[in-house]
Each structure stands twice: as C-alpha cells, then as structure tokens.
Structure 1
Amino acid sequence: MGFLRLYGRVLGLLAPDRWVAIGLALAALALAGLQFLEPVLFGRVIDVLSATGRLPSNEIWRQATALLVVWSAVGVTGIAANVATSLLADRMSHRNRLSSMHRFFQHVLNLPLSFHGDTQSGRIMKVMLAGTDNLFSIWLGFFREHLMTFISALVLLPLTVFLNWRLSLLLIALVIVFAGVSVFVIRRTQSAQEKVEGLQSNLAGNVQDALSNVTVVQAFTRVHAESQMFGDIVRQVLAHQFPVLNWWAVVTVLTRACSTICIISIFVLGTWLHMRGQASVGEIVTFMGFANMLIARMEGAVGFASRLLLQAPALREMFAVLDARSSVPEKMGAVNLPRAQGAVHFEKVAFGYPGGPRILRDVSFDAPPGRTVALVGQTGAGKSTAMSLLQRIWDPVEGSITLDGHDLRDLSLNSLRSNIGVVFQDSMLFNRTIRENLLVGRPDATQEQIEHACRMAEAHDFIVRQPLGYDTLIGERGSTLSGGQKQRLSIARALLKDPPVLILDEATSALDTATEARVQRALKALMTGRTTFIIAHRLSTVRDADEILVFEAGLVAERGTFDELVALNGRFAELVRTQLAGTTLAAKPPVAA
C-alpha cells in the first residue's frame, strides 16, 4: 500500500464523523488565513511607522491604531478558533480510536480458526493496540496542526506572489527543498522501518507465547533461553532502527540549515530590493514573518512525515488483518434457523485444506434427532475435521452437510452455531467469574436455571464451596479449578445453552478414572434428547452409542453398533483388543526383582 494511499485510508476511517472532519478542515482554512494576516498586518504597521516625516502625526497614529485593533481581533479570533479546533479534534480522535479498536476486535473474533491457528494472539494484541494508537496520533496531529501546513503550502503560499513575487520565490524554494528532502529520506528508510515493525510484532508474539506457557518455561529451565531469544530480537530491532533514526537526524540538520539560509536570503534580497525601491521595509518584515511561520510549519510537517513513516508498517499490519476475509462467508439473505430438531446429514463430503491433500473423502451418514453417533479412529483419521465442518469452521470442497434439511452454507452462522453445543477436551474457560463463564451460551439465564444446569452437571456442590460461590474468579483458563471441576463447569455451560445438537470432543480423555465417572454421569444428563456426536479414543465411552463410525484415512471404514463392530472382527475390533491389552498390562502387578 503506497504512502499516500495509506494516509488516505487512515483519514477515510473518519467517515462516521465526516461532518466534524469537514468542519475542522474549514476551521483549519480559516486559521491558516488568520495566521497569514498576522505578518501582513505587522508589515503594514512597520510601513506606517516608517512614514514619520511624510505623514502628519495624527494620521500615523490613526492608521497604526486601526491596524493594531484589527491585529488584536485577528489574534483573539485565532486563539479561540485554536481552542475549539483542539477540543473537537481531541474528542473526534479519541472516539474514533476506540471505535476502530472495537471494529478490529469484532472482525478478528469473526475470522476463522485457521487464521487464529496461524497467528499468535500476542501479535494480534500488539497489532490492534499499536495500530489504533497510531491512528489516534495521526488524526490528532493532522487536524490540530498539519492540515494548516498543507493549506499554507498549497493555497496561501501562492498568495504571497501578489505581495512581492521576488521574495515569494524564496519561500516557494524553501517548501520545495523541505518536501524533496523528506521524500528522498522516506524512500531510503521505508523498507528498513517495515522490517523493524515485523520484528517488534514477532517480539510481542514470543512474549505472549512464553508467558502463556510459563509453567513449561520454568519446568524445562527455558528461562535463560527465552530471555536470550528476546534479547536477540531486540538487537535486530536496534540494528534496523538506528539507520532510520540517523537519516531523519540528517533531515533535521538539513532543514534547519535551509531555514537559516532562507531567512538570511530574504533579508539580503529584501535589502537590495528596498534600495532599488522594489520592496518596502514592511514587506521585508512581512516576508520574514512568513518565513518563520513556514519554517515552523514545515519542520512540524517533516517531523509528522517521519512519525508517519515509523507508524506506516504498524498501520499496514492492522489493515492487513482488517482485510482478511473469512473462509466461510455468509450468504446474502442467509436463513436464520430457529431451534432445530437436530437432524444432521452428511452427503459424500470431501475436504482438504487449501493447497493440501484430502483429509476427508466420500463421508456420508445420517444422524436423526436424538441419536448418538460416535466417531472413532486413529489420530488424524478425520474425526475432528468432520465435526469442524458441522460447525462450519470450514466448508466441504465436495458434497454437502445439512441440518434439518438446510444446507449449512444457506444458514446464518449465528443461527447454526446457536443450535450446536460443544464440550471440548480442554474446557476453555475465561478469566472471569464462574457465573460469567456459565452465561457465555445463554446470557439471559436466571440464577435458578444456572443452578439447575450445574446440579445436572454435578458442579453445584463444588461451586458453592468456592470463596464467593458463583461470583468467584477462576483465573486464566480456570487455573484455580481442578481438571474435573473445569470439565463439569464446561458441561454445565453446554447444558445451560440447551442446544439440540451436541459435540463431545474427547470430553473425558484427560481425566482420571474417578473424576471421569462423575463427568460421565453429567454427560448422560447433557446428552438426553439431543443429537450427539462423540469423538473418542477411549472406546469404553462409546459402548452405548446408537451408531459408531470408524474413520480411517479420511474414510468411514466401518459403521454399526459396538457389538456389531466387535463381531465384524475388523478395524474397530482390532482397536478394542489393543485397548483391552493395554488395560490388562497396566493392571498387572510389578514383577519382584
């Protein structure tokens, strides 16, 4: 994205506040005009005072007084306009910064899991915070100061030609030099600054990664290694950042030198023109004032350009995330399905990740309302992928999946996912209160409904023993709870949502036998009357399923009830024998030495 296009897009985000922005632009034009008048009035006062001896004293006094009154009015008006502009610009920038942050957050939450799987959450946080902070800085600087600089250079500077075209040429040359030097340095440093921003994003991602796995870092004595990795990235950041800063230091020196030369040139040329009768003392003073004003404005603009260069990579990263599109776009006029009956049908479904091999091939099955279907097979066989397609995390590349006869691609994502509940192997709890975690799927639930769901999930007793009961904070990922407590809380959350379709994704595989027994009782309560899909490695958990689908290499290799598949003596029977053998071996007492 080009520099000017990027800048245009940043300003385009102010569209909801377009009338405020237009008002600020008009105010900037007025302020630039008032500032243009001040050197002119000062020069006129000097010319009037220089007329002593040629004009009567009372006339000089009258003209000087009138000019000073006008000058005072211009100054007071300019101060008032500056205060109003600053307040409006501040409020507009703050409002739109938070609005942009909200849009970014909402957009990221809607992006598919494939995006989140490829992108570190720490990096996303850094992109959001750095991007919106930079937006705020640009908006505030632009409307407070730099818009007046552009107006002065493009509109008011040409007006100086009518005052004295010879002196105005020096001012025009000054602006051209400032702009030329800035463009040159921007081109020399742009790629290096993009590299710096990429490294800083990596830094944020690595920090988040280490902090979220601090137990592993300490257990495997990785503190020094992680710290060293951090230091290596910091050194790379400095190695790329310092040359950029050096170039902009050179720009500062050059622009100051040009400013000094311009002031001296105006004085020398003005003196020569005055001696030839082509410029008055007031005009010389006026152009000295113009030069000082322009120099201050242009130095500010150069500083603004340097900051924009430093901010540009962060803004590009933010816009790249905002431009990312979902792999499961919602159709125009998608159907909002009310509470479903729960009839699920897979018809010759095939799936493969973009650019990869097929993970599922020709998968077909029916799950009538209230039926329990188990999906078993080796890791990577396609079980979880099939259930991801049911939640429409991805769309099949061939075939179709329907819920109550509706193709999932014809349904709105909200209505589809509101009809599906998931109990994950990892309970995935928020760092919030127990009550807030339970209300995730049903925000309007009453306390009575919450407690009923928790009793069915065998969670109520341990919750009321917590320091603040249902209002107890449970830490990041539920760190203050045991594995069984977290899983029962996850089941209660699904019960409270009361979905017609349920997916149990290895819901008990990480639990000990005693805890698993309690969780299994809670799961039976949850499964009652729902179309349920069980993804399981422990085959004992699927004995009561109405149908078992045995996945192998992306295909449904076998199907039937537990007893039918064992009698078939095929792949499922082999899995059962393997698990039974492992259990038998584990149960044998150790041999005496």
Structure 2
Amino acid sequence: MSDSHQYKSSGESGRSGRDPGNKRADRAQLEAKPVSLRRIARLFAPYRARLLLVVALIVVSSVIGLAQPFLVKHVIDTALPEGDTALLMLCVAAMVLVAIASAALGVAQTLISTEIGQRVMHRLRTDLFGHLQRQSLDFFTRTRGGEVQSRMVNDIGSMQSVVTSTATSIAANVTVVAGTVVAMMALNWRLALISMVVLPPAVWTTRKVAQMRYAVTSQRQARMADLHVQVEEGLSVSGILLTKTLGAAPALAARFEQTSHDLVGLEVRSQLAGRWRMATMQVVFAAVPAALYLAAGFPATSGALTIGTLVAFVSLQGSLFRPLMGLLNVGVDVTSSLALFSRIFEYLDLPVEIDDPASPVPLGEARGEVVFDEVGFSYDGSHPVLEDISLRVPAGGSLALVGATGSGKSTLAGMVARLHDPTSGRVTIDGIDLRDLDLADLAANVGMVTQETYLLHASVRDNLRHARPEASDAEIEAAARAARIHDLIVELPDGYDTLVGSRGHRFSGGEQQRLAIARTLLRDPRVLVLDEATSALDNTTEREVQAALDRLAEGRTTITIAHRLSTVRDADQIAVLDRGRVVEVGSHEELLLRGGAYADLVRGGLTVAA
C-alpha cells in the first residue's frame, strides 16, 4: 500500500486545513453549542450505501497493502537463494498487482468520498445562504463584519476536507494498525513484543514535540490574522480614503511593520519546532528498526529468524508508526469536525424573525394605501424607539417624515418594507397587515431607496437589472432617464456595460444615488420609500431628480425622509417625529401657521440629519 494512500490522514495539522492551535476555541465552541451526532448522521443518510462502499474499499485496500512484506519475505528467503525463477516472477508480478490494486482502490475511494463530502457541503452551503437571507436587518447590524462570510466560506470549506478525511482516516488507520499487528505476530511474536515496547515512548516523544509546535503555530496564526486585517483595512478603497484624509499613513505603516516584525520571530520558532518534530520522527524511524536488528542478532530473541522475515518485519513495523499517530490524533480531528458543524448549525438554528406567514393573504393589484396603526417598536424590548404612532397615507398620497437624529424616522419608514416588524400595533397596505403578506408579494409592491447606496461589482446594466431580472434594455434605459442618469451612462467607455467597480467608487455619491433610484424605479412599485434618497446630490442635480420623482410619484404612494425643505414642502402631509413620537402632522402651510416644531425646523434651515 502506498504511503500517500495509507498515511494521508496521519494526524498532521495540514490535513484538515485548520490550525491545531484552534483546539481550545473548538472545545469552547462545542461547550457553548453542543452538536448532536444524530443530526450530522442525517446529513449523510442519503449516501449510506456509498459510505459503506468507501469503508469496504479502505479495508480491502489496507489488507491488500499488507501483502507486500510477505511477498518480499518469499523473494529473499526462497526465490533468490534457491534460484526459483518462477516463484520470483510470481512474487514480482504480485507486488506490481498489489500496488496497482491499492492505487486503483485509493482513487475510487477518494472519488466517492469526495463526491459525498461535496454534496453534503453543497447542501449546507445553500441551506445556510437561504436561511441567512431570511434573517432580519438587526442580525446583520449586530453581527461582526466578516463573520458571516467566514462561516459560509472558510468553515464549510474546511468541513469538506475534515468530513471526507476524518471518518476515512479512522477506518484506514484502524485497519492498518490491526492488520499490521496481526501480521507482525504471525511473522515473529518476539520481535512484535519488542516493537510494542519501543513504540509507546517514541509516540509520546513525537506528540510532545508536536504540542510545542502547535502552541507556536497558534501564536503565528493570530499575528498573521492581524496582518491580514491591517492589509484589508489599510489597502481597501475605503481604507485608503480614510488614511489619506486623516494623514494616518505613518502610524499604519509603523503598526504594520511591528506586526510583520513579530511574525519573523514566530515564523523562525515555528519552522524550528517543525524541524524538531521531523528530527524526532527520523530518530524514531531509525531507532526502532535498529532495536529490531539488535534483537535479531541474539538467539534468545531471534527465534531462528530468517533474513526475509526480518526485512518483512521491519517493513511492517515501519508502516505502523504513522497510522498509530493518526489514531492518537483522532480526538483532535473529531473535535475540529464537530466544532465546524457547531458553527454552521448555530447559524442554521437562528430563528427567522421576519418570515412568510403560514397562510399569506394575497394583495392583488395594490392601491397603495399605507396605515401606521398605533405602532410601537423597541430593539431590545425595554427601550422604545417608536411609541403609539398612527398615520395614514392615502393611495397615491405622499408623506414626509422629519425630525432630529434618533427620532425614529428611518425605523418607521423601514417598517413599510418589513425591515422591522412593530412590537406593538400594525402597519397595513390596503388594510392588510404586512405580516400577513407573502414577502415576495410585499417586495413587488414596495420599493425603497436608502441613504446608503450599495452597488454590485458588475456592469451598470446588471446593477439595474438586479431589481428586475426580466427587464428589457429599453425598460432599463427608461428608468435611467427618469433618474437623470442615462446621459452620464452613455458617456462611459462601455456605456451600460461599463463595470461599476468595487462598491461603486467609480461613481460620485450623487451618481450612485441616481443609479439606486433608477434600480428601484425599474420595479415600478406602488409604494415608494425614499430614505434620504437625494441626500448625496448637489442642489442642481437634486432638483432634476426630485422633478423626475415627482412625476413618477403620480398615482404612487410615497413616503420620504429628508432634511431639505425643498424635498418635503410639497408633500401632502408632513409628520414631525421627536424621540419616537409624532408631535405634529399637517401640510407645509398648516404646520408653519401653527408655529410649532416644524416651524422651528424651517427657521433652522431644516438641515436635520436622518
């Protein structure tokens, strides 16, 4: 049996793609979120027959591989001394056939196990992606940046190698160790006992050196992670802009230099520790056969040992060390595997706070009347953000929300698109509670442009078509014209096929906003929510876009959050929010005559942040 097949899961840290220094983190993860083995088994249930076939291939391959030393024994003890050419040819042919059979079985086992692992990972990936898409906006605002991507890509990617290697390595190593011990006893029980005595201290020494390396490697990986973070933060588009505007380049360079300097020492220690491990293994590989040769030289321990038997025995003993180490490291492998499953299941078990109802009410062709009925909301259940808000926006009417920072305007407007659900009261469209609507039905009737524009790293056309994949080129251009962005697009090097670039930094803030407006208008929603949609535009561009929005708002219900008087003064009604409550409602003229909070905002220039 070839070393590459027999020892592919010998416990080396590189096999699973996870650093052994993560053992503590893995154990902590499992303590916090235990994993049911039955749940993992259910993932593999559809592939039960193929898994049994993999185990059978491993056992057969391992057993066949044990034939090599016995063939060598017959060559040395019989075929060569007696000049038995027929036996020699037979043994040599058998050696070649054993190697071919082992290689073929190894390829088949790898193919089947990899396919099973990939299918399970595909199912986990798609299930996790779909589940996370159903999470509320609150989940993503409270989750550390990069954590979701890490679990989606890194953890599931690591699971594939762990899943397809851990179980197969256990089966292969158990078979090899058991078969080798039996074969050694059959060849010479005295030498077998000597091997059993020598191996434990050799294994213990190797594991101690490995633990030393693991500790150093863990520190190195932590500093390497710091280095990656500094590269990402310092050399991204946003990071460069921040660095240049703050003049922080010298400080960042010094910080990067220190981290890189720390890595020099850790890398040297890691390589030295690795070298110590390799040196220890080399000593073991040399010392154990030396002890066997010594024992073979004494009549009391040799037992009339032949040269062929000794060579076969040393060959068998040499194949015992690595699989034995692999079995001793099974605990680490299993812990790593379970920890990865725990991290994925932790996300899959997250409750869906905003979901489709069990029996959705069809909205049909919406008129677009929006009603906030005694709405209250709190993020944590104890500190209210909105309290007892009741507003009605007739179909085709317009409502402007104004107020100071933190007054709850964006939270209230976001409820129309079900970014949040009220903790008390209800929000309705045409008299139907939004929580009774299918989410796809709601999304088809409510369009929202936020103050934070997000553009995909794709062409302009694909960015716009993201809102409605079936939209024709003519419809895309019509939406762009309405948002006053068509003329700029056609002047780009590749027109609508021009690549937007990372996060849309190729375009100015105003241009990004107009692209976002065009993208939303392409869906032609009955209800339009504009959360500071013109905040990044200059006065001239804002007037152009606002004129387009005014025309497109005809017959459409529009809810607008803005800090400019020109944006809100023509609304049918204006609601002034203060600390989560509506303090005034009326038209621009009515509220000015009252001389209350709205009049104060107007006198102050109505430059209120969102």
Residues 1:540 and 2:566 are matched in the alignment: yes
Structure 2 equivalent of residue 555 of structure 1: 581
* Aligned 8 A contact 1:101 1:128 in 2: yes
Structure 1 equivalent of residue 358 of structure 2: 333
Matches of 2:100 and 2:310 in 1, distance apart?
25
Deviation at 1:439, TM superposition (A): 0.6
Structure 1 equivalent of residue 478 of structure 2: 452
Alignment of 1:481-500 (within 5 A): 481-500=507-526
The AA in structure 1 aligned to 2:78 is: V
Structure 1 equivalent of residue 497 of structure 2: 471
Q: Which moved more, 1:388-397 or 1:312-321?
A: 312-321
The AA in structure 1 aligned to 2:99 is: G
1:74 aligns to what SS in structure 2? Answer: helix
* Aligned 8 A contact 2:363 2:437 in 1: no
Q: Which moved more, 1:103-112 or 1:30-39?
A: 103-112
Change (3 A) 1:248 1:181: farther
Change (3 A) 1:323 1:232: farther
TM-score, L = length of structure 2: 0.78
The AA in structure 2 aligned to 1:577 is: R
Residues 1:564 and 2:590 are matched in the alignment: yes
Change (3 A) 1:7 1:399: closer
Residues 1:26 and 2:56 are matched in the alignment: yes
Matches of 2:119 and 2:323 in 1, distance apart?
27
Structure 1 equivalent of residue 94 of structure 2: 70
Matches of 1:377 and 1:114 in 2, distance apart?
23
* Aligned 8 A contact 2:399 2:559 in 1: yes
The AA in structure 1 aligned to 2:172 is: M
Deviation at 1:201, TM superposition (A): 4.4
Deviation at 1:224, TM superposition (A): 2.1
Structure 1 equivalent of residue 8 of structure 2: none
2:66 aligns to what SS in structure 1? Answer: helix
1:579 aligns to what SS in structure 2? Answer: coil
Matches of 1:411 and 1:202 in 2, distance apart?
46
2:99 aligns to what SS in structure 1? Answer: helix
Q: How far does the alpha carbon of each residue in 1:269-309 deviate from its partner, in whole angstroms, 9 at most, with x for none?
A: 34446766375544332221112222455678899999x79
Alignment of 1:113-262 (within 5 A): 113-118=137-142, 121=145, 130-131=154-155, 134-135=158-159, 138=162, 148-153=172-177, 156-158=180-182, 160-172=184-196, 176=200, 180=204, 197=221, 200-210=224-234, 211-213=236-238, 214-235=240-261, 248-262=274-288
Deviation at 1:417, TM superposition (A): 3.1
TM-score, L = length of structure 1: 0.80
Deviation at 1:101, TM superposition (A): 6.2
The percent of aligned pairs where both chains have the same amino acid is: 30
1:325 aligns to what SS in structure 2? Answer: coil
Aligned with 1:35 (options 57, 65, 87): 65
Structure 1 equivalent of residue 449 of structure 2: 423
Size of the aligned set, in residue pairs, is: 575
Matches of 1:224 and 1:123 in 2, distance apart?
29
Change (3 A) 1:416 1:165: farther
Matches of 2:103 and 2:205 in 1, distance apart?
32
* Aligned 8 A contact 1:42 1:282 in 2: yes
Change (3 A) 1:63 1:464: closer
Structure 2 equivalent of residue 286 of structure 1: 312
Matches of 2:172 and 2:540 in 1, distance apart?
73
* Aligned 8 A contact 1:28 1:147 in 2: yes
Deviation at 1:534, TM superposition (A): 0.7
Q: Which moved more, 1:460-469 or 1:201-210?
A: 201-210
2:320 aligns to what SS in structure 1? Answer: helix
* Aligned 8 A contact 1:170 1:262 in 2: no
Q: How far does the alpha carbon of each residue in 1:65-122 deviate from its partner, in whole angstroms, 9 at most, with x for none?
A: 5444433432332233334445556666777777766666656555544444455656
Change (3 A) 1:402 1:444: same
1:76 aligns to what SS in structure 2? Answer: helix
Q: How far does the alpha carbon of each residue in 1:19-57 deviate from its partner, in whole angstroms, 9 at most, with x for none?
A: 65554433222221111111122224434359x6xxxx6
Matches of 2:553 and 2:220 in 1, distance apart?
52
Deviation at 1:547, TM superposition (A): 2.5
Residues 1:440 and 2:481 are matched in the alignment: no
Deviation at 1:552, TM superposition (A): 0.8
Structure 1 equivalent of residue 419 of structure 2: 393
* Aligned 8 A contact 1:331 1:412 in 2: yes
1:510 aligns to what SS in structure 2? Answer: coil
2:474 aligns to what SS in structure 1? Answer: helix
Q: How far does the alpha carbon of each residue in 1:445-475 deviate from its partner, in whole angstroms, 9 at most, with x for none?
A: 1122222222333333333333322222233
Change (3 A) 1:501 1:209: farther
Structure 1 equivalent of residue 9 of structure 2: none
* Aligned 8 A contact 1:342 1:404 in 2: yes
* Aligned 8 A contact 1:134 1:311 in 2: no
* Aligned 8 A contact 2:216 2:266 in 1: yes
2:392 aligns to what SS in structure 1? Answer: strand
Change (3 A) 1:231 1:134: farther
Q: Which moved more, 1:119-128 or 1:31-40?
A: 119-128
Q: Which moved more, 1:12-21 or 1:410-419?
A: 12-21
The AA in structure 2 aligned to 1:524 is: D
Q: How far does the alpha carbon of each residue in 1:330-389 deviate from its partner, in whole angstroms, 9 at most, with x for none?
A: 367363855544343333333333387322222333334323222110011111122233
* Aligned 8 A contact 2:162 2:337 in 1: no
Structure 2 equivalent of residue 590 of structure 1: none
The AA in structure 1 aligned to 2:463 is: N
Q: Which moved more, 1:430-439 or 1:220-229?
A: 220-229
Structure 1 equivalent of residue 17 of structure 2: none
Matches of 1:565 and 1:435 in 2, distance apart?
43
Matches of 2:258 and 2:133 in 1, distance apart?
32
2:605 aligns to what SS in structure 1? Answer: helix
Residues 1:46 and 2:76 are matched in the alignment: yes
Change (3 A) 1:66 1:484: closer
Matches of 2:516 and 2:319 in 1, distance apart?
66
Matches of 1:534 and 1:345 in 2, distance apart?
15
Matches of 1:314 and 1:195 in 2, distance apart?
20
Matches of 2:402 and 2:183 in 1, distance apart?
81
Deviation at 1:551, TM superposition (A): 1.1
Change (3 A) 1:138 1:555: same
